[in-house]
Amino acid sequence: MTLSDRPAERHRQIAGLFTDRVRGARSWDAPSPVAGWAARDVVRHLTGWLPGFLASGAGVELPHGPSVDEDPVAAWQVHCDGVQAVLDDPETAHRELANPHVGSLPLGAAIDRFYTADVFMHTWDLSRATGQDDRLDPGFCALLLAGMEGMEGMEEVMRSSGQFGARVEVPGDADAQTRLLGFIGRDPFWRGAGPDVP
């Protein structure tokens, strides 16, 4: 499937795949490729940081679902539907998000750049933690990797912020997904030992 370049549709596609992985998870306590995180914590991260980012930067309030500890599937679904509603709202095209770290951006573009891309990358974490299909769209992997590698002088800042771990070396002829995972600090060959992983 080719991913759309329109923020609302791209979120629908990427979040839809993540939703499939959420629904397919059997053990929320299975370890994930992110050190110190279980599968549940991947959902906790994605549902946790965006509400404050949107509220402070654009005055957008997302709906609150149950806690991730109580019901990770419902917590994700309420959050995901709330984000999609913002992106589908015709008024979003006329709104901006302002943040001291990123400046001022159209709201839809800000969600796409910072959040939808985050969902995309964390889909691998949840998939690998729970023993599901972990293949990502190769074209979008290549696009994200090129964008991050092209931010000259910013790699050290990104890593010191805690957004990414230390780069993991991968074979020179590795595909785009493997190279992206290595760049953001994931071991592309990580295998969990949880009950979801064969």
The pLDDT tens digits of the residues spanning 49-84 come to 999 999 999 999 999 999 999 999 999 999 999 999
Residue 12 located in a structural domain: yes
Are residue 171 and residue 116 in the same domain, yes or no? Answer: no
Asked which of 134, 149, 172 is the last residue of a domain, the reply is 134
In the prediction, which pLDDT does 195 show?
Answer: 47
In the prediction, which pLDDT does 27 show?
Answer: 95
Residue 193 located in a structural domain: no
Are residue 122 and residue 40 in the same domain, yes or no? Answer: yes
**Residue 139 has which token pair?**
């074209």
Q: What residues make up the domain containing 142?
A: 136-188
In the prediction, which pLDDT does 192 show?
Answer: 79
Q: How many domains does the chain have?
A: 2
Are residue 41 and residue 121 in the same domain, yes or no? Answer: yes
Mean pLDDT by 10 residues, the chain (198 residues): 93 98 97 95 97 96 97 98 98 94 93 96 97 97 90 54 77 96 94 59
Asked which of 90, 112, 134 is the last residue of a domain, the reply is 134
Are residue 48 and residue 15 in the same domain, yes or no? Answer: yes
Handedness of CA 40, 41, 42, 44 (dihedral sign): positive
Are residue 120 and residue 65 in the same domain, yes or no? Answer: yes
Backbone angles phi, psi at 180, to 5 degrees: -65, -45
Classify residue 141 by burial, with Cβ atoms within 10 Å: 0-12, 13-18, 19+. Answer: buried
Going through 27-157 in order, the beta strands assigned E by DSSP cover: 96-99, 103-106
Model pTM score: 0.91
In the prediction, which pLDDT does 163 show?
Answer: 62
**Residue 65 has which token pair?**
């679902």
In the prediction, which pLDDT does 167 show?
Answer: 87
**Residue 97 has which token pair?**
């998000």
